[in-house]
């Protein structure tokens, strides 16, 4: 297992290091990684909680998905 971070797969121009990704991952996974958009620096992060229309989150709301029939929370990594 390699000790790498996602940042190791991105070059200084903020593009995927395609040749490295193609060596490290099977073809299907490499293709999926290379289709992920890399945002330019300077944008703001946004916290979004899918179980509330407002997108706001609280500790009380965190337990809602465990006691309902809604799907599990999905975590999205934003670089």
Question: Which token pair is 41?
Answer: 């620096």
Give the tens place of pLDDT for each residue, 32-62: 999 999 887 777 776 666 666 666 666 665 6
Asked if 48 and 55 touch (Cβ cutoff 8 Å), the reply is yes
Flag whether the pTM goes above 0.85.
Answer: no
Instruction: Please state, in angstroms and rounded to a whole number, the distance separating the CA atoms of residues 56 and 50.
Output: 9
């Amino acid at each position: 297992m390699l000790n790498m971070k996602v940042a190791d797969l991105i070059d200084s121009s903020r593009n995927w290091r395609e040749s490295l990704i193609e060596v490290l991952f099977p073809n299907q996974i490499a293709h999926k990684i290379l289709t992920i958009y890399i945002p330019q620096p300077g944008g703001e992060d946004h916290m979004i909680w899918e179980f509330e229309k407002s997108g706001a989150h609280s500790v009380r709301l965190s337990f809602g998905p465990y006691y309902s029939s809604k799907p599990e929370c999905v975590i999205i990594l934003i670089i």
